[in-house]
Structure 1
Amino acid sequence: MPVFSKGDKVEVCSKEEGFLGSYYEATVLSSLNNNTRYKVRYKNLVEEEDQTRPLVEVVWADEVRPMPPPVIVNRADGVFSYLERVDAFDNDGWWAGSITGKQGLKYWVYFETTGDELAYDASRLRNHIEWRDYHWVSFKKRF
């Protein structure tokens, strides 16, 4: 398990029902309990009571991964292939899905976790990669 330090930019995986598998950008504020938990401040999520304040919470270490490499965050050419695995930025986080079609300048993305199929501009999509065994792994197609 990687060890993160105060100030590190990370992504936190949600394990809440309805948000399973989505990732949210955050900054590590501190490590707790011998790096088994981290206190993080989210970039895009806000507190329910005061929506001007970023949400701060304590998460388990297995819910935290480094930020993906910037070179593969967004496709430079904006072109994705049928059934290619992508992450779509929606509801303040990144959600994994597969390209199911293209209509004009928008791509249709199917999300297995929710059963939804939604259209996105290429600027809101990035190549899907997974953090496995302490390194990034690319999965071009799901099926």
Structure 2
Amino acid sequence: MAVFFKGDKVEVCSKEEGFLGSYYEAKVVSSLNNNTRYKVRYKNLVEEEDQTQPLVEIVSADEVRPMPPSVIVNRSGGVFNYLEKVDAFDNDGWWAGRVTGKQGLKYYVYFETTGDELAYDASRLRNHIEWRDHHWVSFKKRF
């Protein structure tokens, strides 16, 4: 497992029902319990009681990964292929799905976890990659 330090930018995976498999940008506030847990402050999620304040949460180390390479995140105007696995930015986080079609400038993405198929501009999509064994694994190939 990777070790993170105060100030590191990370993505946190949600394990809550309805949000399973989605990732949210955050910054490490502190490490706890010998780096088995982290206190993080989210970039886009806010406190329920005071929506002007960023949400701060304690999460398990297995829910935290480094930020993906900026080449992947900043892809805009790219070309995505049928059934290619992508991440779509929606509801303040990145959600994994598969491209199911294209109409004009919009790509349709199907999300297995929710059963939804939604349309996105290419600027809101990125190639899906996963953090495994301390390195990024690409899913660029089609299935």
Q: Is TM-score (shorter-chain normalized) higher than 0.5?
A: yes
Give, in whole Å, the separation in 1 of the partners of 2:29 and 2:71.
26
Quote how far apart the aligned CAs of 1:75 are: 2.7
Output the amino acid matched with 2:116.
Answer: D
Corresponding position of 2:138:
138
Give, in whole Å, the separation in 1 of the partners of 2:14 and 2:141.
23
Give, in whole Å, the separation in 1 of the partners of 2:19 and 2:67.
19
Aligned with 1:72: secondary structure?
helix
Q: Is the 8 A contact 1:74 1:127 kept in 2?
A: no
The ranges of structure 1 where at least 4 consecutive aligned residues each deviate by more than 2 angstroms after the TM superposition are 74-77, 140-143
Instruction: Summarize the alignment of residues 1-143 of structure 1 with structure 2, pairs less than 5 Å apart.
Output: 1-141=1-141, 143=143
Q: Is the 8 A contact 1:98 1:142 kept in 2?
A: no
CA offset digits 1:92-114 (Å, max 9, x no partner):
00000000000111000000111
Quote how far apart the aligned CAs of 1:72 are: 1.6
Aligned with 1:71: secondary structure?
helix
Unmatched tracts of structure 1, length 5 or more: none
Quote how far apart the aligned CAs of 1:142 are: 6.3
Give, in whole Å, the separation in 1 of the partners of 2:3 and 2:142.
30
- TM-score, scaled relative to structure 2: 0.97
CA offset digits 1:20-47 (Å, max 9, x no partner):
0000000000000000000000000000
- Among the aligned pairs, what percent are the same residue? 89
Compared with structure 1, are the counterparts of its residues 19 and 142 closer, same or farther at alpha carbon in structure 2 (3 Å cutoff)? farther
Output the amino acid matched with 1:14.
Answer: S
Aligned with 1:43: secondary structure?
strand
Q: Is the 8 A contact 1:98 1:141 kept in 2?
A: no
Quote how far apart the aligned CAs of 1:119 are: 0.2
Aligned with 2:57: secondary structure?
strand
Q: Is the 8 A contact 2:27 2:42 kept in 1?
A: yes
CA RMSD of aligned residues (A): 1.1
Count of paired positions? 143
